[in-house]
A and B are shown apart, each in its own frame.
Chain A
Amino acid sequence: MSQVNKSMSLANPMPPFTDTIQKLAAAVGAIGLLLLFVAWIGNTLQSGALLALSLVLISSGTIIYSWRAYAGIPEGIKNNGVWLNALTNKGLWGWISGIFITGFYVLLYWYPNLLGLGVDGAANSGLVGFFDPLSRMLSGNAASQWFVYGTLYTVAILIFGIKFILKYRHNKYQQVRTFSVMFFQLAFAFLIPEFMQSMNYPYYDFKNMWPLNYYFFFDWNLNGFLEAGNVGLLMLVSGLLMTFIISPILTFYYGKRWYCSWVCGCGGLAETAGDPFRHLSDKSLKAWKLERWMIHSVLVFATVMTVAVLYSYFNGTGDILITKPMFIGITLLLSAVVGFIVWKNKKRIAESGKNLPLIIGGVVGGIAILTLLAYFTGSFIVDGNLLRGWYGFLIGAAFSGVVGVGFYPLLGSRVWCRFGCPMAAILGLQQKFFSRFRITTNGGQCISCGNCSTYCEMGIDVRAYAQKGQNVVRASCVGCGICAAVCPRGVLRLENGSVDIAERTTELKTIHISADKIGIL
């Protein structure tokens, strides 16, 4: 009397890994991609309708596929098979897609003509030409390789954002956060700048701030603002406000997550399209050491480059609001302010890293000395133009683009944010020392399973803190909240509190015995 397969469940007790609808959806998406390839290689497609069809096919294929993957089964954490899949375990498909994306970035940055960008005034062809109709519709201009990139980037954040929301349909924090990055990408990074251009204003992304937006203080950018009248002035002022006022305030209240996993475009792509690769970040102590050296070096590089560029800017023309002595004064004043804050908190900073006060002091002092020297000798010791050329090549293109996104399937989705982004570096320093944010560890409930560390895209060994019962305060934490989501025991919670900023991490809640009076705590 056999009763095998008896089940009262309405759900299919043995769903196959991919069902027929998913296979069809994958085919639909593939046809959309194929259209892009045909346009690129065939060099002849110049139809707005075909472009629309291509994007619709890609989007609907992805969305239907994800809907089938998540909607029919009970809500919860969906990490089954992540390390068993050749796309997400650095297997064959991981390498193929890594090489493919990297190749695309190389073409984008250095050989846009191969993508069909018209050289020397010639009309676009190929892939760039394929996007001309959409670009004309939005801004009135022909497309550039950056328009193609921006469109695909936005589409990726939107469709994989929907996938992510379906995947985390039980988690309101993840949904709100993902909706936020989708909104900021679509409105602030994509549509508003295009519309601005159609009205003959400079291209400007209001949410992108210095130093991530490293060209904010470049002469052509500043001149663009100054030539654009009141709107240009608004852009200039909002850029300065973002960097120096809004960002520090929000980071104080909520940690760097308000930017890195709610607003930022790099973060937006990492959290959506990059989500299947988040577990590939390196959690070793070695990687953490490397991270601290690299990201702070990039910050120093960006700062010195910007000061040098600005110096030559104010040195070059006479009809600017700010004169050379004023600029030098501002630089010295800012250095003094940073120096003062560091000095006031030297004890706290020293506790968390032996060399940190030395490094910060060195950088601030160095910039101050360079500026003074420049004032007396009439030239900055380093050549601003040379610096900015190298910065644009090494950091702006090679690091943030080629390595940052191209290596998603091999190094995880936040390589740029973790090792390279100067904005993340500044926000991180603030998060560590002057913020209400922390990830609270829930008493002694940790079982050291390692899900939190594994799924931390920033490579933080969250478990190392959680199993001690210590709260997590790390400069690199972008507050994505996935550690808290995947924790099977409800141990982690992202939260903000003002009463304990200086001692956010002092308590060790798994310590059971008081060492002082030798008794149970």
Chain B
Amino acid sequence: MNIVILGNGISGVTAARHLRKQSDHKITIVSSETDYFFSRTALMYIYMGHMRFKDTQPYEPEFWTKNRIDLKKAFINSIDFKQKHLIAKSGEKIEYDKLILALGSKSNKFGWPGQDLERVYGLYSYQDLEAMEKFSPGLNRATIVGGGLIGIEMAEMFHSRHIPVTILVREKNYWDNVLPIEESKMISRHIVEHGIDLRLESELKEILDDGTGKAENVITKSGDTIECRFVGLTAGVSPNVAFLKEGELEVQKGIVVNEYLETNIPNVYAIGDCAQQSNPRPGRRPIEAIWYTGRMMGETVAYNICGKKVAYDPGIWFNSAKFLDIEYQVYGTVLAHPPENHQSIYWEHPEGRRSIRIVYDNQTQEILGFNLMGQRYRHEVCEKWLRDKTPIETVLQNLSLANFDPEFYKEYEAEVISIYNKQSGKNLSLKKKRNLNSVFSFLRS
């Protein structure tokens, strides 16, 4: 069987790897972005000089030949689903028996005047990085529109090169549609601490043209002019499916797939950022453009193609990020605007760069989620508590099992418990200190 994967990001490459593990099919990955798979999340580190481009490639070139995964660099203009081939810009036709669409995303544009000028970019592709690099020398200031995960990365990038940065955030606090208010304020403070010009409740009105088709200065809705010669559009991403919208493939916001990641056309699958679940699991969004779900879909689609049917299930939600110097991890459900029964235990370090939030259901006492800033928790332990719907008090008394900070770091679990004790009038205490053997006996129990 001849399997073609369109897109060489984490979803497509994970699919290829698992297909190869389970089968002897011919596997071809088609992409126009780069010759080899690289970690998209690491783009920022190339610009900041932490790594070279080749350091962001998880596999050496020999890996692909050794595993008989063919890499083809081509830009695909259209797909003929009847004849079962892709049509490249060069006119070349690439035939397939089964096709996996792993097309990724593109940066959102909301119809701002000037959004298509030169020197206006998102941060998603390798080409975006090249553009940032190209326009950096002599840059007076960059204005970044959007207060999400990518906006702060772009700000950190320019900041690392000592290029002044302004971030326009529509919300009252940074990313406060996702983060609870305390964490959101913490990150807002941290951005300012770094000397980045963070403008909250500030929206883009238009990007001005310097007369040659290049962006020069932006105007906000409140009428401020910000002098800058680069504009970053980081108000989220959406599926990169424009070229498929007119055909017989069912496309809404993304490519619609069932739980087996099958599209409405036989032998065509969609995974990763571009896939839209027709029937997402409770509490989950139909499109989840994150690294980990892309990886899970890649693995799942490989099983389905190899005839071992398995429904896509992203399991218990987890995610992570890093906001300048503050690491962020989340496990389970932690909402910015929680319903009545979601009770929080929130501890914050006096220095304001570290916090632990534990959310539980105050009716059933079940644990619901963990939100961590500047603090590392152990994935498997949190996941097991969440899966088992463990009572909050059991979680708290064993909280040290979750601590994943380096050795010698101060442990704050006892302070979390004392906050709970204050809230509830109880007198709980930590049962055990942090210890790997205890973690194993817990995980194996």
A residues contacting B by CB (< 8 A) are: 1-9, 11-17, 73-77, 79-85, 170-173, 176, 284-285, 440, 442-445, 447-451, 453-454, 463-464, 467, 481, 484-486, 488-490, 493-500, 509-513, 518-520
Q: What are the residues of chain A within 8 A of B405 when measuring CB–CB?
A: 493
Nearest to B378 among chain A residues (CB) is A442
A176 and B408 contacting across the interface, CB-CB below 8 Å: yes
Measured CA separation A84–B225 after assembly (Å): 33
**B292 at the A interface (CB under 8 A):** yes
Nearest to A8 among chain B residues (CB) is B192
B residues contacting A by CB (< 8 A) are: 10, 39, 41-42, 45, 48-52, 55-58, 60, 62, 141, 160, 162, 164, 166, 190, 192-197, 223-227, 291-292, 295-296, 299-300, 303, 308-310, 313, 315, 318, 320-322, 324-325, 327, 329, 376-380, 383, 404-410, 436-437, 439-441
A11 and B195 contacting across the interface, CB-CB below 8 Å: yes
Measured CA separation A511–B318 after assembly (Å): 15
Would you give the shortest CB distance from B104 to chain A, in whole angstroms?
A: 15
Would you give the shortest CB distance from A460 to chain B, in whole angstroms?
A: 14
Measured CA separation A489–B321 after assembly (Å): 6
SS of A interface (majority): loop
B408 and A80 contacting across the interface, CB-CB below 8 Å: no
B380 and A84 contacting across the interface, CB-CB below 8 Å: no
A81 and B49 contacting across the interface, CB-CB below 8 Å: yes
* CB-CB under 8 A for A513 and B324, given A17-B162, A451-B50, A496-B436: no
Measured CA separation A15–B195 after assembly (Å): 9
* CB-CB under 8 A for A488 and B192, given A80-B160, A84-B49, A494-B406: no
Q: What are the residues of chain B within 8 A of A513 when measuring CB–CB?
A: 299-300, 303, 310
Would you give the shortest CB distance from A242 to chain B, in whole angstroms?
A: 24
Measured CA separation A3–B166 after assembly (Å): 10
* CB-CB under 8 A for A284 and B376, given A447-B291, A494-B406: no
Q: What are the residues of chain A within 8 A of B223 when measuring CB–CB?
A: 1
A485 and B406 contacting across the interface, CB-CB below 8 Å: yes
B404 and A490 contacting across the interface, CB-CB below 8 Å: yes
Q: What are the residues of chain A within 8 A of B227 when measuring CB–CB?
A: 2, 4
B325 and A77 contacting across the interface, CB-CB below 8 Å: yes
B197 and A6 contacting across the interface, CB-CB below 8 Å: yes
B225 and A1 contacting across the interface, CB-CB below 8 Å: yes
B50 and A512 contacting across the interface, CB-CB below 8 Å: no
A-B contact pairs, 15 of them (CB 8 A): A2-B224, A2-B226, A13-B164, A13-B195, A76-B325, A82-B50, A83-B50, A83-B51, A83-B52, A285-B62, A447-B42, A448-B10, A448-B39, A450-B39, A489-B327
Would you give the shortest CB distance from A439 to chain B, in whole angstroms?
A: 11
Q: What are the residues of chain B within 8 A of A77 when measuring CB–CB?
A: 325
Measured CA separation A450–B169 after assembly (Å): 30
Measured CA separation A74–B191 after assembly (Å): 10
Q: What are the residues of chain B within 8 A of A443 when measuring CB–CB?
A: 318, 378-380, 383
Measured CA separation A82–B46 after assembly (Å): 10
B376 and A490 contacting across the interface, CB-CB below 8 Å: yes
Q: What are the residues of chain B within 8 A of A16 when measuring CB–CB?
A: 162
Measured CA separation A171–B10 after assembly (Å): 31
Nearest to B379 among chain A residues (CB) is A443
B160 and A81 contacting across the interface, CB-CB below 8 Å: yes
Nearest to A11 among chain B residues (CB) is B195
Nearest to B57 among chain A residues (CB) is A450
* CB-CB under 8 A for A85 and B406, given A450-B58, A511-B299: no
Q: What are the residues of chain A within 8 A of B439 when measuring CB–CB?
A: 497
Nearest to A447 among chain B residues (CB) is B41
Nearest to B309 among chain A residues (CB) is A518
A509 and B406 contacting across the interface, CB-CB below 8 Å: no
A489 and B320 contacting across the interface, CB-CB below 8 Å: yes
Measured CA separation A82–B50 after assembly (Å): 6
A74 and B295 contacting across the interface, CB-CB below 8 Å: no
* CB-CB under 8 A for A449 and B49, given A74-B324, A513-B299: no
Would you give the shortest CB distance from A271 to chain B, in whole angstroms?
A: 16
